[in-house]
Amino acid sequence: MIDLSFLKKITGGDTLKIKKYISMYLSTAPEIYERMSKNVDQENWSDLALNVHFIKPQTGFMGIESLKHLLVEIEQSIIEEKYENTKSLYLKAYEVHIKSQALLINKVNEL
């Protein structure tokens, strides 16, 4: 579910930097997903798009490709104004976020 090879590449394999970047992601992502949840509940699609756009590159850096793909799908549903699937896509993304968060915490502890 998580592939840290890109992060290892951009940090030169520096364990402290890898831990720092993962920790930064872990400290910001929960708040963003909380905002996204509110956006979905309120059907505030423009703010949801902004939050998705903000977190999407970070998921790429963390190597969480399945989550990144779901975020792209959410963005696309908003662009195309096809909101009927947006909530279910968000719920899937949130589930992947929760699972990947636990895995990233384990990775930090292993390093």
pLDDT tens for each residue of 52-91: 999 999 999 999 999 999 999 999 999 999 999 999 999 9
Q: How confident is the model at residue 5 (pLDDT cuts 50, 70, 90)?
A: very high
Is 42's pLDDT higher than 90? Answer: yes
| Residue among 45, 88, 92, 48 nearest 66 (CA) | 92
Q: What is the number of structural domains in the chain?
A: 1
CB atoms within 10 A of CB 82: 10
Domain containing 26: what range? 5-110
3-state secondary structure of 2: coil
Q: Output Rg (C-alpha) for the chain, integer angstroms.
A: 14
Mean pLDDT, the chain, rounded, equals 96
Q: State pTM to two decimals.
A: 0.91
CATH value at residue 64: 1.20.120
